[in-house]
Amino acid sequence: MLNWRDVHRMTWREIALQVGVVVLVLAVVVGAVRSAQINLAALGITSGYSFLERDTGWSYSFSLLERSIDDTYARTLTIGFLNTLFVGLISIVFATVFGFIIGTMRDSRNLGLQVASSIYIQIFRNVPLILQIVFLYSILTHFPRPKQAYSIADMIFMSGRGIVIPALNIPISAAVAVLVASIVLAVGVFWKMRKKRHATLAWLLGTIIFLLIAIAAFTPDGSTVWSMPFLKGLNFRGGITLSTELVAMILGIVLYSAAYIAEVVRGGLDEVPKGLTEAGKSLGMRPFAIWWNIKMPMALRSIIPPLGNQWIFTMKATTVGVAIGFSDLFFMVSTSITQSGQTLELIAILASGFLLVNFSLAQIVNLLNRQLALKGYGS
């Protein structure tokens, strides 16, 4: 990183050269924007973001918020952005957990676990993600009708219209907020587990109390906390229906990303010196205790950087949902371009949304790296 001491050491020629490069780049950008505006005006296409206040006139399959065909482009794009965040974050959490499990299986000495995990990785890592999602979507849409739906303990029902599961009897926006808070608190619990046991128990108890208060606060008066699904007529009532597009998206991205994360975890575990694990065995530690207290803490320092890259890739992978009609930000922008013709503005909105999300993920990864770094390292 350039500091003022470096600037003082530079010659006037070097400073002039760098200023000239910056001015040239700005001139090219401004010229390109101006040329695009002239060409659009010649075609009779207006530029600007005033179209965001116009009604869209079209609907879509999934939304975390109330939706209508009379929604403006601004609200529709916001819903698409929230859908992308929802699928991306859920996929990141489950892919990370599943990837750590598969990666640990690859590192084990059990031949059966090694073979099973290797087969899984080779299949899901080498088949294109879009092909996996289309394949899963095709399977889900061929499930039977609601009256013949597959049932699990009469609580979960799977049909061609989606998967119906029990749900908290609270608004979906509040449920999403509670889910996000739960994930944050769960990460906090995991982090505290590395420290004192009493702090861990206190944190865990606080998490449970928070969830109970949040659920009670959002539950309507006179209603039960849980809404259970049941068949009425030709469709299910109660619970919450996960659309086939949503299920195919989450399942496909999780299975695909977990294969890459598993290889990252395996590589990190392989870098742990064998002498440390042998020392744990000599002390009479069980295999899980060695994994939890020795191998994983040491491996995390090499796992986190590539894991962060995989998280960013997982978030960007949500764009393949357009192939099955999932209403993420990319789908909303694509449809909006067709309907409104505001191509440059909508692409700028799409790029800005992903830049914001992925930059935030990068900062979280940098924070984790600093927390896991050895004290005094690099100073």
Q: What is the pLDDT of residue 259?
A: 95
CB neighbours (10 Å) of residue 355?
A: 10
Condensed to tens digits (0 to 9), the pLDDT of residues 129-146 reads 999 999 999 999 998 888
Cα atoms in the 13 Å half-sphere on the side-chain side of 124: 25
Condensed to tens digits (0 to 9), the pLDDT of residues 94-107 reads 999 999 999 999 88
Does 1.10.3720.10 match the CATH number of domain 73-124+252-372? yes
The closest alpha carbon to 122, from 255, 268, 312, 250, belongs to 255
pTM: 0.78
Q: Which of 16-25, 295-304, 328-337 has the highest mean pLDDT?
A: 328-337
Stretch 270-275: mean pLDDT? 84
Question: If pLDDT is split at 50, 70 and 90, which confidence band does 194 have?
Answer: low
Condensed to tens digits (0 to 9), the pLDDT of residues 142-186 reads 988 888 888 888 888 888 888 888 877 766 666 666 666 666 666
Q: What is the pLDDT of residue 378?
A: 47
Q: Is the pLDDT of residue 9 over 70?
A: no
Q: Which of 77-91, 147-161, 188-202 has the highest mean pLDDT?
A: 77-91
Condensed to tens digits (0 to 9), the pLDDT of residues 273-282 reads 888 888 888 8
Condensed to tens digits (0 to 9), the pLDDT of residues 49-74 reads 888 888 888 888 788 778 888 889 99
Q: What is the pLDDT of residue 214?
A: 62
Provide the residue ranges of all domains of the chain, joining segments of one domain with +. Answer: 4-47, 73-124+252-372
H or E segment and range at residue 261: helix 244-270
Q: Is the pLDDT of residue 2 over 70?
A: no
Q: Is the pLDDT of residue 196 over 80?
A: no
Evaluate whether 264 touches 305 at the Cβ level (below 8 Å).
Answer: no
**What is d(CA 142, CA 159) in angstroms, rounded to the nearest whole number?**
8
**What is d(CA 124, CA 135) in angstroms, rounded to the nearest whole number?**
12
Helix (H, G, I), strand (E, B) or coil at 240: strand
AA identity, residue 23: V
Question: If pLDDT is split at 50, 70 and 90, which confidence band does 213 have?
Answer: low
